[in-house]
Amino acid sequence: MLMPSADGIAVLERYRRVRALSDELARSLSDADASAQSMPDASPAKWHLAHTTWFFETFVLRDHLPGYSLFDARWPLLFNSYYEHEGPRIPRAIRGLMTRPSLADVRAYRNAIDAAIETALEDLSDEARALVDLGCHHEEQHQELMLTDLLHLFAQNPLAPAVYPPSLREASGPPEPVRWVAGKSGSAQIGHCGGGFGFDCEGPRHTTWLHPHLLADRLVTNGEWAEFVADGGYDDARHWLSDGWAWMRANAIEAPAYWCRGATGWSRLFGLDGLRPMDPAAPVRHISYYEADAFARWAGARLPTEAEWESAAQRLNPLEGNFLDRAEAPRPVVATSEHGLRQMFGEAWEWTGSAYLGHPGYRTAIGTLGEYNGKFMSGQFVLKGGSCATPRGHARASYRNFFYPHQRWQFTGLRLARDI
């Protein structure tokens, strides 16, 4: 095999790192663990491993390697996610019914595609190598999704099994009082600046106007959320949007997802390391937009806008924070403080009050990959910052995550904002 060029070496090293982390995250799973699906929004771990592989096989090998033959011509039906241009696919809600191929078959598929990518990389065009890079970012998204889906799956088991062994935990102690930091006001630039990788929905960079406002210097904690629960926050319609109140009542929501009642009330929670005592000082996670908005109203505040959050985060280092580094349960880290703001990256995706729509001047990319982001700009809200399940290096100020307002199985939290 010819040695790749310098750029090829960098792409190959990154490809190997990303693929190895996915394999590590799934190493301890049984075939049953990897095949089950706990709800329509989630997917089996086996499917995540195969779909990310299908992405490389389809958009890199099939489209850019003359004479390439598919590993199995039947499998695109199984592992296409939502690309209409790629033909029919199994509906998302029944992916858990695919007991075949087995987890071992999927691992063989991954090994075969990895070998093909490594062999072909030297001869691939710059366009194809850019697609390998895109595929790596895409797989990092699915690494987080795989963890959140596994957490939801294991939470359905009355034995409360752990996905990963507990990591060493440091006592976080009582949280410091919230400090309010003045955000930028007036004209501001947001959106991807063009240096390095960015998904199409992060651009174009543009000017927006910010009114005077304050941002909380840290995320809302479990202890503060417990006060909201104890004060009847889930029983008082004054705090809730109409849709949120209806959703909450229809689903008998009483607390964030994975909170469990102990002898002293809501004192335990279920995580990737199983059932454990709740840390009152840790950021609250697994809340919907509806819950975040209701808490903010109860607290006499509001959710920050996407522009407010991003303009503040541009000054900070996106590598700092509690991110996913390896296959283990997330562990607390010492929160850093710069420019008065903490926990801007990692810990929990932060709900904003901004709808997920295109930035001014946004145009959907041409071709099948144009389906990646643009067609989902309806009825969803933007989240910023990354979480403890986001791979380290995947977050940046301009990154736009998005979910529907009722969804909360992801590692979602909130930071408060106020008008001046």
Residues 191, 340: one domain? yes
Task: Give residue-wise pLDDT tens across range 52-107.
Answer: 999 999 999 999 999 999 999 999 999 999 999 999 999 999 999 999 999 999 99
Task: Give residue-wise pLDDT tens across range 130-163.
Answer: 999 999 999 999 999 999 999 999 999 999 999 9
Is the predicted pLDDT of residue 47 greater than 50, yes or no?
yes
Residues 128, 66: one domain? yes
Residues 59, 135: one domain? yes
- Bigger pLDDT: 372 or 331? 372
Structure tokens at 393: 């290096």
Q: Strands across the sheet with 213-216, in order?
A: 180-182, 213-216, 417-419
**Predicted pLDDT at 357:** 97
- CATH classification at residue 296: 3.90.1580.10
The sign of the dihedral angle between the CA atoms of 286, 290, 291, 293 is positive
Is the predicted pLDDT of residue 195 greater than 90, yes or no?
no
The structural domain count of the chain equals 2
Domain boundary among 140, 155, 170: 155
Preceding peptide of 76 cis, ω within 30°: no
Residues 252, 201: one domain? yes
Residues 107, 144: one domain? yes
Residues 6 or more apart from 415 whose CB is under 8 A from it? 215, 216, 218, 219, 220, 304, 309, 343, 350
Is the predicted pLDDT of residue 203 greater than 50, yes or no?
yes
**Percent of the chain at pLDDT above 70?**
94
- CATH classification at residue 64: 1.20.120.450
Examine residue 174 and state whether it is found in any structural domain, yes or no: no
Average pLDDT over residues 349-362: 97
- Average pLDDT, whole number, for the chain? 93
Structure tokens at 228: 């909201």
The distance from CA 188 to its chain's CA centroid, rounded to whole angstroms, is 26
**Percent of the chain at pLDDT above 90?**
85
Rounded to an integer, what distance in angstroms lies between the CA atom of residue 412 and that of residue 409?
8
Rounded to an integer, what distance in angstroms lies between the CA atom of residue 151 and that of residue 124?
38
Average pLDDT over residues 357-362: 95
Domain boundary among 101, 120, 155: 155
**Predicted pLDDT at 194:** 82
Average pLDDT over residues 173-199: 91
Residue-range definition of the domain harbouring residue 279: 180-419
Residues 250, 297: one domain? yes
**Predicted pLDDT at 366:** 80
Domain boundary among 138, 155, 172: 155
Residues 267, 123: one domain? no
pTM of the model: 0.95
Residues 140, 205: one domain? no
Is the predicted pLDDT of residue 218 greater than 90, yes or no?
yes
Confidence of residue 373 (pLDDT cuts 50, 70, 90): confident
- Bigger pLDDT: 260 or 176? 260
Residues 192, 150: one domain? no
Examine residue 1 and state whether it is found in any structural domain, yes or no: no
